[in-house]
Structures are given as C-alpha cells and as structure tokens.
Structure 1
Amino acid sequence: MSDHSFTPEDSLVAVMVGISVSDQTIRTSELLSIEQMVNYLPVFGNYDSDRMQTVATIVFDLLEDEDGLDALFGLVLEGLPEHLFETAYALACDVAAADGKLAQAELRFLEEIRHVFNIDRLHAAAIERGARARHQTV
C-alpha cells in the first residue's frame, strides 16, 4: 500500500481508527469520540473530514495483512511531524477510553504507539491519566 500517503491530520485519524479496531470491535462511543475530536480540535482546523472514510478504509485494509500494523505505522510516521507524536498518543488514549474499558488488544496497540513514537514513559503516564480523568463517569 505504498501508493498511499497521509497528511498529518490523516495520520492522526489513522491512529484513532487503528486503536478503535485493535480489539476487533468498533464501538459507537469510539466513533463518536473520533468524530467529535476531528470536528472540534484545533489540529483538525483545516482538515476535510470527508477524508476520514478513505483513511479508515486504508487502515482496515492494512490491518487485514500480516505486516499491516508495521505498514500502518510506516504511513503514519511519514505523514506525522514529530511535534505531533504526543498528540497522536493522546488522541489514541481518548478513543481507547471512550467506551469505559480497555481491552488487552488496545493496551498492546497503545504500547506499540509509545514505542513507535518514542514517547517517554512519564509523559505517556501523564497523557493516560488525563484520558482516564476526561472519561470518568459519576
């Protein structure tokens, strides 16, 4: 799938879709979370949200292949500037927390993101704690 290339915004969407499908189930709460973030966060200010479906399809196709996760992260790394690595991780944490539970597959996906983006463990813990706090229920 090397004929695809991602913009920085596409890369962020791809990470969010990837974490959503990592447990083999795309929950409505996760999709709504992705949609809300794309609609309201400044990083997506100039993004054509119609591209979300295209990006999602690419992610689905990639993850069907044995080496699809590596290919996905390759595309994301090509399209995402380094200063947005922690943003990508934060968005992934928010999507993972959106349904109130974290599956083992989601935890592994987050671990892989930390590794690929070389996110310091202390920074990752702070990002994770923020996501947990934002998605707390009464």
Structure 2
Amino acid sequence: MKKPSAHEALIYLMVVTSASDRDMTDIELARIGDVVRTWPIFEGFDPAKLVKVAQDCQKLLHEDGGMQAVIGIARQVVPLHLHETAYAAAFEVAAVDLEMRMEELRVLQLLRQELAVDPLTVAAIERANKARHRSLT
C-alpha cells in the first residue's frame, strides 16, 4: 500500500475514532462526510474518494497493531502545524452523537499524545465542539 496523503491520514483518524467502539454509526459516518466536504483543510480532496479511503483504513485496522500503525502514519504525513486540526476532526466525529464511550475516549487520548496536542488546546477544541453541538431543547 502506498503512503497515504495528508487528507487520507486525516480521514483515517476520523475513521479510527468512529470505529473504536466497533460501531460506526450513521451519524458518525455522515459527520465524516460533512467534515470532508466543508472544512478548509480538505480543499482539493475529491469527496468521491471518501469511501475508498475509509475502506483502506479499515484494512489497516484489521492488521496486527493496526490502530498504532494508522496513528503513526498520520503523525508522519500530517504536517506538524495541522496536528491540532487533526485532533479537532477526530473529536468532531466522537462528539457528534453526544455520548462518548470509553473506547472513543481512549483513542482521543492516544491522538493527543501521539500528535503532541497541548492540554490547553485540547480543552479549547473540546469546549468549542461541545458548545457547537448544544441545542435549545
């Protein structure tokens, strides 16, 4: 398998977060699609390739040490100045259903460590995301 692009690696992180509890919900999959179509970081990426990229990630995850391999790939190909954005994209997927399972929290913890996102930035990303998902009811 060829080395994935930074776009593909960002998608891998969202897929890993969604798949961490072995239940990729429709709402999580829809959010991945929304992020890919609307976030500036994905300018130039063809959304028609999303399914293929997610399938490639799933193949990697099924190998021994798959999750660590996916995170390692992302750490290598996503530029350092975009590691915070990578964490924000993963958190976006985890938070979309308004409940985080232990497995998702563990993946987010690994991402924070591997991508070296500082605690204040993590808190700001998480707080902004939670605020964005609140409703009037």
Pairs within 5 Å for 1:1-138? 3-137=1-135, 138=137
Counting aligned pairs with the same residue, the percent is 35
Show structure 2 runs of 5+ residues with no match: none
Q: TM-score, normalised by structure 2?
A: 0.93
Query: Are the aligned partners of 1:11 and 1:75 in contact in 2 as well (CA < 8 Å)?
Result: yes
2: distance between equivalents of 1:23 and 1:11?
20
Give the superposed CA RMSD: 1.2
Instruction: Give the Cα–Cα distance (whole angstroms) in 2 for the partners of residues 134 and 23 of structure 1.
Output: 23
If the length of structure 1 is used for normalisation, what is the TM-score? 0.93
User: 1:78 deviation in Å?
Assistant: 2.3
Which deviations, in whole Å up to 9, do the C-alpha atoms of 1:54-106 show, x marking residues without a partner?
22112211222231111111221222111110001011111101111000000
**Superposition misfits of 4+ residues, deviation over 3 angstroms:** none
Distance 1:54 1:82 in 2: 25
Inter-partner Cα distance in structure 2 for 1:69 and 1:23? 12
